Amino acid sequence: MNELYGMLQAFKESKQVFLTTIDPDGEKHTRPMTNYNESPYKEMWFPSFKDTRKIKDIQANNEVIISFPAEEEGKWYRVKGIARLAPWEEVREMWKWWLLEWLPDEDKRPLRYDNPFIDRSIIWVNPIDADIEDNK
């Protein structure tokens, strides 16, 4: 199978991908993210709350990695990219009430009725490089 096609198909099938950020001390932090994107070759977006470690990490260092499983067991695609945070106007325009509804009850936050999405953010990732990693 063509490597580019294989990566595209694996990405489309991944309902969840992993976002790795790097904090100011150089420590990597990886967390699952719901994948609403169609291609790892185009700019990707991920909803988030503003007051999270990933947002703070991106503000300090915008280099990130998006990882998702390859077709072959034990191998992962890694897409290195540059992240940016959407301006408030774009968040307000794009946000759907259900984007972060999957959170466990202990992580849910009350919806603010004065400005319901003021504590929300959208992370955009512009891909710059990709490879495959063997975790066996």
pLDDT in tens, 45-89: 999 989 899 999 999 999 999 999 998 899 999 999 999 999 999
Q: Going by CATH, does the domain composed of 3-134 fall within 2.130.10.10?
A: no
Cα–Cα distance for residue pair 21/58, rounded to 1 Å: 7
The domain locations on the chain are 3-134
Give kind and range of the element (H or E) at residue 89. helix 88-94
pLDDT tens sequence across 81-133: 999 999 999 998 998 877 776 555 555 566 555 566 678 899 999 999 999 98
Q: What is the pTM of this model?
A: 0.86
**Cβ pair 122, 94 in contact under 8 A:** yes
State how far the Cα of 29 lies from the Cα of 26, in Å rounded to an integer. 10
* Residues contacting 61, CB < 8 A, separation 6+: 21, 22, 23, 24
